[in-house]
Structure formats: C-alpha cells, structure tokens
C-alpha cells in the first residue's frame, strides 16, 4: 500500500451507524457492518441525504473507540455534507474533527478482500510505520469512483495519528 501523511479538515457526515467490534465482525452471525452496508445501499440512503458535498463519494468511519482495534467502536456509513440542516428521520450525524492522518491507498482488488487485507496489514503496523501513535478517534475509508467496480476496487484508508 502507498502511504502519505496528511492533515484533514473537519468532516460532517449524515448516514447510518452501529456499535460493534472486530471480534463480532469476523463472525457472520454477529457482524453488523455487512448488514448496515446492505441497508444503506439497497435503500439508496445517499439519495435521501440533503446538503451533500461530494456526490458519489461514501465514507466508512470507525470512531468512538472504547480502547483500540480490540475494543468496541461505532461504525458509521454516510456522505459528507455542508450542514446538518433537515436531517431525515432515522439518519444520524457524525463530525470528524480536523486531525493528522496516515493515508493508505490500496492496490486494486475485489471487495471485501481488498479492505480486509488492508486492515490486516494496518493492524500489524508500529507507531514508526504510522509516523506517530494511533489516535483511535476516527479512522475512515473513502469509496469514490475507484470503488465503482467491486471486482477491481481501490480505496483510501485514513488512520488518525497523534
């Protein structure tokens, strides 16, 4: 994976969320992320979100960590917006504060394999690899036009660092 140290401005999102952990996500019986993604895309939630900033770009966010990658966290799937006006019933908001990130760009691959492989590589990294200690405030994946083909997806993963 390619990596680059970047600073990101505050990001406002509207979408859906679920509380989970990586242990539960490894078991299809307890996984919540796949179900939430299925709901999001089958119900075309993105089209219901007002004030969208970047049409065709969806963010997949891991936030509100209890501890680290072994603890519970909130998974949030949504669209970046300019404001939180007129939030549709059933949708939630999330603000990712401005922060420093190590941005990883994956090689092309099949969904979900490309995502799983990237995270497995990230979990093995040291603070030296990240350019700092992980912050565990908000980490996110960006699904843009490079992710339109599920057989040949490239995505960026942003890992917050202190």
> How many angstroms separate the CA atoms of 48 and 159, rounded?
28
Average pLDDT over residues 19-47: 95
Average pLDDT over residues 58-86: 97
- Looking at residue 108, its pLDDT comes to 97
pLDDT higher than threshold 90 for residue 27? yes
Q: Determine the distance from the C-alpha atom of residue 114 to the mean position of all C-alpha atoms in its chain, rounded to a whole number.
A: 14
Average pLDDT over residues 120-137: 94
pLDDT tens-digit map of 102-121: 999 999 999 999 999 999 99
The domain 2-161: what is its CATH number? 3.20.80.10
For residue 88 the two structure tokens come to 């549709």
The predicted model scores a pTM of 0.95
Whether the ω angle into residue 112 lies within 30 degrees of 0, i.e. cis, is: yes
Strand partners, 134: 161
pLDDT higher than threshold 90 for residue 72? yes
């Amino acid at each position: 994976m390619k990596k680059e140290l970047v600073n990101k401005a505050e990001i406002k999102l509207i979408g859906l969320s679920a509380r989970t952990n990586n242990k539960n996500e490894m078991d299809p019986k307890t996984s919540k992320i796949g179900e939430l993604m299925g709901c999001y895309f089958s119900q075309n939630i993105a089209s219901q979100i007002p004030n969208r900033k970047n049409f065709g770009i969806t963010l997949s966010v891991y936030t509100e960590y209890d501890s680290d990658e072994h603890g519970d966290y909130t998974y949030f799937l949504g669209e970046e917006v300019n404001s939180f006006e007129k939030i549709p019933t059933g949708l939630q908001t999330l603000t990712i504060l401005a922060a420093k990130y190590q941005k990883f760009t994956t090689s092309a691959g099949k969904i979900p394999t490309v995502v799983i492989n990237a995270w497995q590589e990230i979990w093995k990294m040291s603070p030296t690899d990240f350019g700092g200690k992980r912050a565990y405030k908000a980490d996110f994946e960006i699904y843009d036009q490079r992710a339109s083909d599920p057989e040949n997806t490239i995505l960026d993963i942003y890992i917050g660092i202190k």
